[in-house]
Structure 1
Amino acid sequence: MLHSKPDQHDIRQKFSTSDHHIESHRNRQILRDKPNKPEKRFKQDKLTHRQTINASAWTIRLWDTELWSGQQVVTDQRLTLHTTLIVVLTGEADIERGELVTRMSRGSACFCAGDSTFGITPCTTQGAVSVAVIYFSLFQADNLYGHALLESAMEGILPQGIVSMTGSEDRIASLCRSIYENSRHHEGLKTWRAQIDFQEMLYSILTTWNRGVGNNKTQALEQSKKHMEEYYGEDLSVDQLAGIAELSPKYYAELFKKTYGSSAMDYLTQIRMNKAKQLMLGSDRLLREVAHRVGYRDEFYFSRKFKKVFGMSPSAYLKTQKNKLAVYGSSSILGFLIPLQITPYAAPLHPKWSREYHHALAPVVPVHLSAFRQNHHKHENLRKLAASKPELIICASETEAWERERLQEIAPVYQMKEETLGWKNQLMDLAEFLDRTTEAKSWLAGFERKVQTAVQNFPRFLNERTGLPGILPLRLHSNVLHINEGRGVEEVLFTILGLAPVSLMKNTPSGVSLKITQLADCDADHILLLVRQDTETLEYWRELQASPEWLRIRALRAGNIHVLPSYPWREYSPIAISRMLEEIPSFFSGNNP
């Protein structure tokens, strides 16, 4: 049954910053199950960490190999269509696989499933970083027809944890480089050799995993971090965490801070504070209950810690963030809520498709909807949204009719206005609905000051060039180049900053693809290129950069081709526009790689 349309004033009142109260926590008894001792539980977890690998019917196919080092190491998450092996050859790096982040050191390896995402962030304090990324497929014989081969997913076959090849680091690095060089050789025997080398390396990694050896100090620290993330509500000490890592307390404390830049106890405090935010957001839990659930027996001590970390007391936080507002359909809606100082109770978050929002909001948003390929898992998100019981849902303007009908069965729905109205009008309409016009006007005033500063300072980035430089925004998807007609890109470049679009942009009809030869003859001083982060597009991008036609492009010879990250350059929201404005000067100052 559909909800009747709610009274607009009632909804505005529910989501305004006034009229909230904090329920008294007196005379309420907190019932908690008696927990098992954390050390014992951790050891039980480790017993099920490995599984028997049956490789008797495997056939392996190597597709591609990449070697990344220095600035080539990509921090943005990318989509991989094939099973992927990541090996750290030198230094240390944080490997993101979906929402899982793991520190890996030299000689460590891990696998990523096909049709998933991964990212690599170098830890520059630990020396130069180089990483091998190997794409492959694993086939197994069909049980029904033994002569047929079926591609298998890695789940239940390949290890999901980190494998450390302690004592074999040099050999693994040598194999990776051999695989890389031979896979690109023009001789068929050499490419076959790459297949053999890869299978040899894969065998070494899996036998190491099966024997249960190869743990190193980085893995030991990661195990203690995982323990904190799972058992933050229990009494934890440095001695206990050091015992889990099988290190002395003093050495553990020193190594943890050296590796992660903060002490183990500070890291635990941050986990507890973020979990506390999640518990308080959209709930009527008492302060004492929240404190107990995140590991504090004294709610007054918890309040002091909360204020020290976030700059406001729990009661002040509750006054502005108590209601259960949900976002559905597009993570770009978060770029409208942040200026209004609203943290949603449920939102689509993903470390690739909404990286900035995931980094900022994932620790404090209680319900994470899938943002894989934005809203690929619609039915799953609708089920999760219904279970979370929000009080209001904000959905994207392009939400389909059947989705809106389902959303209206869950809670009242506000649908974002069309982009054609402009992001400022979208923001003000949403702000009026939520009774947050004061916050919206304040943010817009700050944005206008930023625009004035950018326009005034921009000429000094042009290196005394006479006239404005010609700009060509492009996007590469698969093996096709198009002019980037993104609304935000055009607004920032050509409306706010008044830069000049080149003749190729003016003369090319919308949606028509470009040839590389057209770029070679183009009069663009700067090319801003958005490369889709999937394996097919990235493979073509590597080939394109080595082609003679690409090397003849005028902007390339001048060092003025700028590869853009997906965020903020694919989004149209207040926060994204503001970020674009901040990044533009680096393209003309010589500080952009």
Structure 2
Amino acid sequence: MNTWLEQQNFLEHTLLELCEAKTMERADWELKEPLVLRHHALLTFAKGKGILIINGTPIKITRKSVFLLLPGTNVESNLADKEDVEAHWVSFDLFRQVEATEQRRVYEREQSFPVQGLIANSYTRLQRMIAAIVSGQTNAVKNNGMRQMENLHALLEKVMTDHLPRRHEGEEHWLQQTVGYILQNYQQEIKVESLAEMAGMHPAYYSQVFKREMKKTPIEYLTQLRMNKAKELLLTASPDKNIREIASSVGYLDEFYFSRRFKENSGYSPSTYKKSRHEPCVISLSFPYTEHLLALGLTPCAAQTHPHLSIDTVSLPLPYHASEMWEISRQSFVETKPDLIICKDHVLTKAREHLGDIAPIFSISWKQTDMFGHLMEIAHLVDRKREARTWLDRHTKKTEFMRKKVKALLGEATVAICVVRDQAYRMYSTRNIGHVFYRSLELGVPEKIQRELDPYPPGTQFNWVGMPKEELPQYEADYLFFVVRSEDEVKMVEYDIQTLESWKKHSAIASGRYVFLDWYKWMVYAPLSIEKQLEESYDLFASLMDKSFSIKNPSKNA
């Protein structure tokens, strides 16, 4: 396995078997003798410092270290004193096909791997993928074994893609330039010769490079892109837009030729496509929209998820922010064979760049409308408007019940929501965590936040404002929530409470009516999470009332 091609194709004709996926703490690493591995293993540290000794070679452990270890590897550890340790461990076996006939397939265990040892020292994406597999073993769901194998295969592909040497960098650059040109000019006549000239290649060689990378010829790519754009128009255009206009919009002057190609591609004529669709296979590139699909009774065939969402689907390791690079292969989407893809508007450009030829892509504006608007837009796309109305009716009744219950406990109270992010503070409004407290329960908003909200429809546009530490008294409220992601952020807030005199005078802090909330649990702005937050809100306020009472009456707890 020495050649570049052999390394790139290492996972072809192999089977994976997941042996173990678990979280390991400090006690698990206090080894009396070297650990000799029986399987391949992936290891990442979320907490802990020290030295990992691999086959006699010491390697420093950091919070983002990721290791790939081969069978037979000797592992020893030397951890820093009194350091908490949290590591995610995934062990697996790899079997390679050595014989293939019509009657049988024979596999032998593979002991090697092209990449090994410390493969990353600051790689949060690999850590997320490993943690997702560990979580999948802990929170077993139906068909979990198959999903785990898919996730493990995607993880190993990611390791291979990122850490093996690459060839034809110049070719890949110019190929992407021509793909970008197609995306921008698909309505026009495009010839392979023109694309090849743009890339500085012979047309035959350009087509060969294109097919090698994109798994289809340039003409097949262009045709599929046009068909997907036509599907987007057919599902969203006004009823008076005729087939001739749609054909022209996607680059076909002859509407009859367009209709023939469209039926070959989709199985339906353009005029019957919208009415004749079966239950669609949907990919969600945004975890809030994944929740919307579930609220509508539709499980996506692949989706971005979050730690508190248990769902039986292919989990997509996509970045949470539009500025981050996509590090997932196109093949993961191709194999799913989606009918449509939904995403937030700010990732639409990147989605089209990667997936425009795979399925029609629909963006749902994130800030221009609120959660209820998101639900109705998605319901329209997947033909689930009745289910959306049913969910909204049920949610309205639940909201009214919880509002009366909380109002009976608190009366007319105000709430301030302070989110800790990047060692700074943000005050939130009526979106995300603010939805339940301000819109569902109708609790009071700090005056300074209300002034920012006044120009916009409820739940749209304005989300948060940065807050210098000294300005906390300007957000006076009866209750104060600090939303944090780590113990370090808790310590940061507690330090400011203890040392800043202006904070001590804030009503909520002085009365003990403040609490820390888990970012990952309370910040998701989507139907299922909002309902869970609503259900927990009463207990949250009841505990704060008890806390406040104990501060005012310390002798009662003596």
TM normalised by structure 1 equals 0.46
TM normalised by structure 2 equals 0.48
Which has the higher relative contact order, 1 or 2, with Cα contacts under 8 A spaced 6 or more apart? 1
